[in-house]
Amino acid sequence: MTTSYELSHLGALEAESVHIFREVAATFEHPVLLFSGGKDSVVMLHLAAKAFWPAPLPFPVMHVDTGHNFDEVLAFRDHTVRRLGVRLVVSSVQDDIDAGRVVEQPGAGRNRLQTTALLRAIGANGFDAVFGGARRDEEKARAKERVFSFRDEFGQWDPRAQRPELWSLYNGGHHKGEHIRVFPLSNWTELDIWQYILDEGIELPSLYYAHRREVVQRDGMLLAHTRFLALQDGEKPYEALVRFRTVGDATCTGCVESAAVTPEAVVAEVAATRVTERGATRADDRISEAGMEDRKKEGYF
């Protein structure tokens, strides 16, 4: 009589992500994990902690700060790094604006300006592998990514120069000055993320659940009325019951009307939706069909 052991769907995804973290720790000298306090980076950090438990994380976490963050997310970020005892590196877009390295366009979000801050921090700290929380289901350009995404000495991504990953074998070879972006959540979906959050009891910033706040209707999206959002002619803020599916620059990250106040309710809501969170709530992805791919070629996440 033989006994077979079969992982669940989420168990298989978790095992794959844990393997990726351990592979990077064994291959690279100076990895870093991008951590903004958003749900994908929270799950990624949770998986990393599992991968090396009971030892502490063998790498720091980094936040590329636009300066236009939601207060709830920054508070959660700081609470999490204190709880886990990890080192936080913050690279500020405002520093680049003040130094004249980038120019802020009036009325535009700062997401695209993050590229300079990210590449500056990678170079200054000598990071040779950078964990990101991108998933292939989010957006077409991200669907092209390998798990190990090679970046040249300028931090740029060339989709034609990516390496095959047959049988989940990863090639981390690179020269000095080059680095690898690593995506442990590549094969997860938004629904997988939320089911895992539910199963693992993972804490998230409060704005991921339904709450009342002032919003503004703009370009078919609901934007939070914050100190960072300049009202346009005819816009009038009003209060609505909403939650955020993703978080980023507060000037271009939208919310959705929702009554989901628990992970169970969010799972049911996400299971019924037919639009990805970036497609529904990220104004910076609506620049053009190739907007994200163009930014990735410049060195964006």
Cα separation of the two ends of the chain: 50
Q: For residues 119 and 154, what is the distance between their CA atoms, to the nearest angstrom? A: 8
Which residues pair with residue 63 across a beta bridge? 90
Arithmetic mean of pLDDT, 153-159: 81
Window from 33-47, 127-141, 204-218 with minimum mean pLDDT: 127-141
Rounded distance between C-alpha atoms, residue 175 and residue 167, angstroms: 24
Mean pLDDT confidence for 30-52: 96
DSSP per residue over 107-129, as a string?
T--SGGGHHHHHHHHHHHHT-SE
For residue 167, pLDDT over 90 is answered with: no
85-97: pLDDT as tens digits: 999 999 999 999 9
